[in-house]
Amino acid sequence: MPNDLTILSASAGSGKTYTLTGLLAGLLDQGVRPDGVVATTFTRKAASELSARVRSRLIAAGKADAAQCIQDGYIGTVNAVCGAILGDYALEAGLSPNLDVLPDGEDSAVFRAAVSEVLRLNTPPLTPVLRSLGLFDLRESWDKPVKRIIDAARANRIDRAELLACAEKSWESFRQLLPEPLSLQDGRRLDDELRRAVDEALRDLPAPGDGTKATEGVRDRLRIIRNNMRNGAPGCWGDWISLAKFAPGKQSRDIVQPITELAEQVLGHPRLHHDVETYIRKMFECASDAMGRYQQYKKDLGLIDFTDQEALTLSLLENDDIGQRLRERLDLLMVDEFQDTSPIQLALFLRLSQVAGKSVWVGDQKQSIYAFRGTDPGLMDAVVENVDRVEVLGESWRSQPDLVRFANAFFGAAMRPHGIPAAQVELVPKVVELETDDPHLMCWRLQANNKTVEAACLASGIVDLLSSAGRHAVLDKATGGARPLRPGDIAVLCLKNHECELVAEALNDRGIRAAVPRPGLMAQPETQLALAAFRYLADESDLLAVAEMARLLAGEEGPDWWLPLVRPGDLEAVKERIPAIHRLDAARSNLVQLTAVETLDLAVSLVDARPVAKSWPHPGNRLANLDALRGYALAYEDACGASRSPATSAGLLAHFSRLAADKEDKQAEGGGSDAVQVLTYHRSKGLEWPLVVLTGMDSVDNPRIFGLNVCSDSETFDMDNPLAGRWLRFWPWPFGAGRRIPALEEALEGTAAQRRAEAMERRERLRLLYVGMTRARDHLVLAARIPGKTDGTTSWLDACVDETGEKVFVFPLEPGVQTIRVGADHQARIDVGSFAPESEGAVPPPGVPRTPALPVEPAGREPARFALGGYPSNGTVRTEAVRIGPPYPIGKREDPARLGSAVHAFLGAVPGGLDRAVRETRAQAVLADWELSEVDAATLCEMQDRLAAFIGERFGDPGVRTEWPVHLRRGPASGAGWVDMLLGLPEADVIIDHKTATGSADRLEAKAASYAGQLSAYAEAMSKASGRPVRETWIHFPLAGLMVNVTVSDE
């Protein structure tokens, strides 16, 4: 058991850092030796701040010697402390004192290099199973799920042999969800009968008098599935689920009924049992083998990663001799943010608590929200329940009294059913109260039925806030006085990153800057300038780099000033006009002495990237982007050093390209007083703002049963062995895009796995809501999408109930200021508003500049690029509609923007000539990326097949190019765009543009006519670039099954 362990419960805003500093200083006064302190923090910044504050207090108290000695203790992040202990006792532990630690985030590259052979050998035998389970594309990135299993095993101290036992447990537990399998003979008979039923249905559909769209859709889908059949059965288990759910028109149901009855037997199919069992066992076998290869690979290179540090330190502490030596040395263990530790870190802290004379763990169970990173809130709860001394910081130094009292009432009631008493929730407000007649709490009813419209409604609400900024005064932390609300005082919290992007776009459309994490660093002009100089410095034959510098360094002459000077293969005349190029040429001879990062620094300096960036709009963001680029370069050099590979300029450029391709090249977020912060709930932890808007109040629970989960066979928690009985359960989802399987849901009902998943989800969402609400200092907004509702149901808030099951808060609907009951008896004043999206072109609030957060092109001259879609058509527009299939019945719940993006992504990126199984797998990935549920992979493939059939019938066998860039100069500026599909005929081209609008044929013809200007601009650009005429321009409406030919004449 730990020695003298105290848990200090520090709710949000309760002055944890101040208390921690004072506590440590006080214990030093009581005799704790400064060099006998172990203090772990979550970040390096927190460690530096703690050490600096304590040293300052000691020096102020005249204890300079103690202030010096505290640096001889162990103060830092968990891994810094582990590294220091291992360094001090390396020889006793049988380790080299010169082990190198892999930089954070660089373990994936080393892992891939270590296990590539394991994955290569295991891919061929698994490919048929991957096809059947709808996971075929995993053969291209199979290391990711294997690494997730290995990471979870190492974080829970599960060894290679135990991994193989996890495979047995995983399959046995999954098998209990399935009925007894049919015999192999009966399975083959079921395949044959299903194939015959499909053939007969295709022959008989539709029934006489049944011309419904539903029946046409079923018949089209049957044709696709029949084409996919191999060995007499559908090619993947997701097809069986589709067949079981077929719902044609009423008159044709009897024809399809034999198919649905046969397909409903899928859970008992012996091949399904075989495929799932094979996949589970193979994943664990590969993980076990790969874990051994990974460890040996690191050992051969003299490397360890962060988890190795923790595991080695834990083993060191379990050595009786070393444990005794540390016991004589250590007086105090302090753990900050203990709720965010991983399982192995928890075991490490408990072991250190047995060595140190006294232990203080500071944290907050209510803020344990990083389960997706491997933390286990359940373990933290168990520690708190087993510790006798739990002290509470009971005062709030962050939020307005009304907000503190609201949070007290809300979470005091909602946390109690989860074992957290009110005493660990409720705080006494200590902040000076703002004098205002308006409530500090607001509820916004958003008139939206999808995420895109919801974002527009949120933007309307924020415009309203800023238009009446004087009503929403905030406390200025610098002056201590009240002042009007500014954009930079506002934070909007979203559940997911793509929701953040939608909100940022909606704010930008309304003229309000939004600071949001987003990829695209390599596409920014200041970054392009730096990289062009870097490429040219490394390779003087890189003419594209010269052209990019010429464009970006253009003065009053315009971005295309250099084009008339170009001679084939020769840009010497252009280079003569750019002084920076002469400086780059002169410096090239010295590159042999420079590292890759030093070469990049030299290029940035010689091309004057920073002074140029300062001359463009939003210079602070642009300079921060250049710093971010250098940060990625330093990380590349660190990774090369860790893996014992050379860091070269070519390698650095390839690294930048990979970051951009994987959308991991994050831009600087920007900020300042004129930018609204938009971020996820998870990223908001540890931060605060004067006004916080919480979104997603209407989001529903999504218990995570399938996939990888950590389980425990231990009925009680052992403080001496906290990881006892833990194992990994891996349940793959075998049905592709199919999400609702009634028979499987019935089998799961009431199981321990389902109860645990639902309980974990409820607790996780409650903690996330607590983190969100407690970020607000002066004002809090709860925003919910409730179009047309009269009862105020909001799934997230409604799931927060007290011990009796009663809701602690009901979202109000009536507009205006009112008093609402919260919890048992608290009465809260709330201002209720309703917001709808505004029309395009709405003006921003007074005093708020209408500028995007980070424009792609510098201003100060005519824009270098603009959208071609905005050009009007000059002439008479004619249309010709061609039906290529029935419309798809897409539900209204789908977000039109995400649906359109998904369709464009699939049609543009997935070649139609690929194997059908491959296309469906990639379609599933696209749908998953855009989080669409009412469109399946087969529908996307069918859209592609329809379009291919139309092209073949009308144009024969043309060359097909997708996402083709076009550029057009008109007047002083130039336009750029992308042609969705370009068909190359023998003597002309054809342009096809995809639009995902729906409606009647007449309505869509009129809509197609509105794109005549865009199509004409595309055609003009293509003709000028290629010298070939564009014969036809078409709008493809894939959801509506319609092609519209658009022509413009001078008549």
696 is annotated as contributing to ligand binding = no
Residue 314 tokens, joined: 């834990």
CA distance 823 to 806: 9
Q: Which residues of 248-283 are buried (b: 16+ CB within 10 A; e: fewer)?
A: bbeebbebbebbeebbbbbbbbbbbbebbbbbbbbb
- Among candidate residues 844, 720, 693, 706, the one with its CA nearest the CA of residue 351: 720
Question: What is the sign, positive or negative, of the torsion defined by CA atoms of 431, 435, 437, 443?
Answer: negative
Q: Which residues contact 911 (CB under 8 A, 6 or more apart)?
A: none
12 is annotated as contributing to ligand binding = yes
17 is annotated as contributing to ligand binding = yes
| Residue 763 β-bridge partners | none
**Burial of residue 841, with CB atoms counted within 10 A of its CB: 0-12 exposed, 13-18 middle, 19 or more buried:** exposed
Q: Which residues contact 218 (CB under 8 A, 6 or more apart)?
A: 205, 246, 247, 248, 252, 256
Residue 904 tokens, joined: 């464009």
Distance of CA 976 to the CA centre of its chain: 29
Whether 861 and 473 have beta carbons less than 8 Å apart is answered as no
- Among candidate residues 482, 243, 378, 331, the one with its CA nearest the CA of residue 717: 378
Identify the helix (H) or strand (E) that includes residue 257: helix 253-263
Sequence-distant contacts of 946-951: CB under 8 A, at least 24 apart: 946/884, 946/885, 946/1038, 946/1041, 947/884, 947/907, 947/912, 947/992, 947/1036, 947/1038, 948/912, 949/884, 950/882, 950/884, 950/1043, 951/983
- Among candidate residues 94, 83, 28, the one with its CA nearest the CA of residue 61: 28
Residue 974 tokens, joined: 């130039």
Residue 792 tokens, joined: 């105020």
Count Cβ atoms below 10 Å from residue 28 Cβ, excluding itself: 24
| Residue 985 β-bridge partners | none
15 is annotated as contributing to ligand binding = yes
Per the document, the length of the chain is 1051
Count Cβ atoms below 10 Å from residue 352 Cβ, excluding itself: 25
Give the CA-trace dihedral at 497, 500, 502, 505, to 10 degrees.
-130
Whether 958 and 1012 have beta carbons less than 8 Å apart is answered as no
Give the CA-trace dihedral at 87, 93, 94, 96, to 10 degrees.
-10
Whether 1022 and 980 have beta carbons less than 8 Å apart is answered as no
3-state secondary structure of 520: coil
3-state secondary structure of 197: helix
Residue 597 tokens, joined: 């990062």
φ, ψ dihedrals at 968, nearest 5°: -140, 130
Distance of CA 955 to the CA centre of its chain: 42
908 is annotated as contributing to ligand binding = no
CA distance 484 to 468: 9
921 is annotated as contributing to ligand binding = no
- Among candidate residues 790, 810, 792, the one with its CA nearest the CA of residue 801: 810
Strands 707-712 and 726-731: antiparallel
Whether 490 and 671 have beta carbons less than 8 Å apart is answered as no
Question: What is the sign, positive or negative, of the torsion defined by CA atoms of 476, 480, 484, 485?
Answer: positive
> What is the Cα gyration radius of the chain?
32
Residue 125 tokens, joined: 């035998």
- Among candidate residues 177, 172, 173, 182, the one with its CA nearest the CA of residue 269: 182
Annotated binding-site members: 10-17
Annotated binding-site members for ATP: 10-17
